[in-house]
Structure 1
Amino acid sequence: MPAKSKAQQQAAGAALSAKRGETKTNALLGASTEMYETMPEKELEALASTDRGDLPEKKLQQD
């Protein structure tokens, strides 16, 4: 499952780093905390490895 925005890709990368023990979990903020707690490492890898080239900064919300 590829990331839908650069913000989502970055949050997944932070959560993955914490899950692997490379970063302390108390350094996580916002969405990365929830991702760390609820997503398996394999799913975080898929999100974090998404190419950021054509992704928007943030996903536009649809009404």
Structure 2
Amino acid sequence: MPAKSGAQQKAAGAALAAKRGDMPKSKLRGASKQMVESMSEKELDKMASTKRKGKPEHAAKH
């Protein structure tokens, strides 16, 4: 699933780094903390690698 906003992509990137062991999980906050527990490495990689062009920084709430 591709990221819907720049903020979501950044959170996925941080969660992916923690899942791979590149940064400690204790450094995660907010959405990235939830993502690391609920998503697989493959899902996080797909979300973090989304192109940012044309994406808003924050997604609109419905």
TM-score normalised by the chain length of structure 2: 0.97
Q: CA RMSD in A?
A: 0.5
User: Which ranges in structure 1 are unaligned for 5 or more consecutive residues?
Assistant: none
Structure-1 residue corresponding to 2:38: 38
Q: How big is the shift at 1:61?
A: 1.1
String of CA shifts for 1:11-56, please: whole Å, max 9, x gaps. Answer: 0000000000000000001000000011000000000000111110
* Deviation beyond 6 Å, 4+ runs, structure 1: none
Structure-2 residue corresponding to 1:52: 52
Identity of aligned residues (%): 56
How far apart, CA to CA, are the structure 2 residues paired with 1:13 and 1:52? Answer: 13
| Number of equivalenced pairs | 62
For the residue of structure 2 that corresponds to 1:16, the secondary structure is helix
TM-score normalised by the chain length of structure 1: 0.95
